[in-house]
A and B are shown apart, each in its own frame.
Chain A
Amino acid sequence: MEKSHQEHALMGYGTYVMVWLALLLLTGLTVTVAGVNLRDFAIAAAIFIAAFKTVLVMNYFMHLKYESALFRNMVFISIFTLAIIIGLTFIDISFR
């Protein structure tokens, strides 16, 4: 418990600024990709970039990288659950 807090403190202010810059760059990339006429690929690219930004925010700003396996497992289970809900719904509507 104390240990994990010390580990948080190890993350310097510089790391946060770098992550923020990366997030801004990725935002620029999303806007650029949307400007190119790629139709459905553009949506896939936007979601992929958003997912990557989420990984950055969770790992660094939300310290998930430095948490115990319990936290990562919980995040995995909830995202997995959401993926099942979305996946099954789409299977349902596409075979209607």
Chain B
Amino acid sequence: MSHLAEFTIEKHHDAEGARVGMWLFLFTELLLFGGMFLLYSVYFSKHPQEFRYASGELNQFVGAMNTIILLTSSLTMALSIAFLQKANRKMAVTFLLITMALGVFFLVNKYFEWGVKISHGLYPNSPELLRHSQGEILFYSLYFVMTGLHGLHVLIGLVIIGFMVYFISKKSNMTVNLKPTVLENLSGRRLSLSDDAGNRIWESDVIGQDVTDVKLAVKGKVSDAESLRANAIKLDNVGLYWHLVDIIWIFLFPLFYLIAM
């Protein structure tokens, strides 16, 4: 028994560290959109009348609908995370699929909304738009760039949520490469694998004196608890991203749709 060197496979999970990383990324997003909100507010302060007039051309109803859709998708995302933390995979996936459906619904609305504007000849640098006043040109340019960038974030979010559905649904396998730390003591001995009950399930040849490197790769199924913990950490961070995209829309909606007089 004194010849037994034990290596336990343990994957390191740092949920809080992962969330700190995600929040740091979200701050870069905040500054990205913050810069655009700054542009918006400076130009609004210079052309208040034109901004108000141009805002009246946007469809308030569609804007309000999309706000409700995104807020609801944030709820379903939060619920999915809560279900996964209670190990309820089925409900977690169901709510992720609802979240995705709402995200698609949002983008479809946006598509038709943009389509109407573009069919009226209103898109950045269009001949029709260039006939409008300076303030209106700025308003529509900001509208297309900011809602466009936001829509891109929704699209990216949908792809990432799709991956999460896959991760949570599939049985995860993993390969672990073991590197014995006590290599110098291995010569003349064998490597073996035992299961939880202590039964030896595999044994290597005796390791010779001339062996300088021992590599051992083990492939197996990740335990349910293990994959659950890993996926919960991932989903937490996907949720943070999705909620930030929601928050950005919370500001975009009144600033673009509701300033008309």
Residues of A with Cβ closer than 8 Å to B?
1-2, 4-5, 8-9, 11-13, 16-17, 19-20, 23-24, 27, 30-31, 34, 37, 39, 42-43, 46-47, 49-50, 53-54, 57-58, 60-62, 67-68, 70-71, 74-75, 78-79, 81-82, 85-86, 89-90, 93
Chain B positions 230-249 with a Cβ under 8 Å from a chain A Cβ: 232, 239-240, 243-244, 246-247
CA separation between A20 and B249, bound complex, in Å? Answer: 15
The one of A5, A24, A78 that contacts B30, using a Cβ cutoff of 8 Å:
A78
A-B contact pairs, 15 of them (CB 8 A): A19-B75, A30-B254, A39-B261, A46-B254, A46-B255, A50-B251, A53-B247, A53-B250, A57-B243, A57-B247, A62-B244, A74-B20, A86-B34, A89-B38, A90-B41
State how many angstroms separate the Cβ of B67 from the closest Cβ of chain A.
5
A50 touching B250, Cβ below 8 Å: yes
A60 touching B254, Cβ below 8 Å: no
CA separation between A30 and B75, bound complex, in Å? Answer: 20
Residues of B with Cβ closer than 8 Å to A?
14-16, 19-20, 23-24, 27, 30-31, 34-35, 37-38, 41-42, 45-46, 60, 64, 67-68, 71-72, 74-75, 77-79, 81-82, 85-86, 232, 239-240, 243-244, 246-247, 250-251, 253-255, 258-261
State how many angstroms separate the Cβ of B192 from the closest Cβ of chain A.
33
The one of A5, A8, A61 that contacts B77, using a Cβ cutoff of 8 Å:
A61
Residues of A contacting B240 with CB < 8 Å?
62
CA separation between A28 and B16, bound complex, in Å? Answer: 36
A31 touching B258, Cβ below 8 Å: yes
Give 4 nearest A-B pairs by CB, closest first: A34-B258, A46-B254, A20-B75, A78-B27
A11 touching B72, Cβ below 8 Å: no
B261 touching A37, Cβ below 8 Å: yes
CA separation between A50 and B27, bound complex, in Å? Answer: 18
CA separation between A17 and B74, bound complex, in Å? Answer: 10
Contact residues of B: prevailing secondary structure:
helix
B23 touching A74, Cβ below 8 Å: yes
A4-B16, A50-B254 in contact; A85/B259 too (CB < 8 A)? no
Residue ID in chain B nearest A86 by CB atoms: B38
CA separation between A54 and B78, bound complex, in Å? Answer: 15
CA separation between A54 and B60, bound complex, in Å? Answer: 21
State how many angstroms separate the Cβ of A78 from the closest Cβ of chain B.
4
The one of A1, A17, A19, A47 that contacts B15, using a Cβ cutoff of 8 Å:
A1
Other A-B contacts than A23-B74, A50-B253, 20 sampled, CB-CB below 8 A, are A8-B85, A9-B85, A11-B82, A16-B78, A17-B75, A19-B75, A27-B253, A30-B253, A30-B254, A31-B60, A34-B259, A50-B254, A54-B250, A57-B247, A61-B75, A67-B19, A71-B23, A74-B20, A85-B34, A93-B45
Residues of B contacting A11 with CB < 8 Å?
82
CA separation between A79 and B254, bound complex, in Å? Answer: 20
Residues of A contacting B261 with CB < 8 Å?
37, 39
A16 touching B34, Cβ below 8 Å: no
A57 touching B42, Cβ below 8 Å: no
State how many angstroms separate the Cβ of B201 from the closest Cβ of chain A.
31
The residue in B37, B38, B71 that gathers the most chain A C-beta atoms within 10 A of its C-beta is B71
The one of A27, A57, A82 that contacts B74, using a Cβ cutoff of 8 Å:
A57
Residues of B contacting A37 with CB < 8 Å?
261
Residues of A contacting B74 with CB < 8 Å?
20, 23, 57, 61
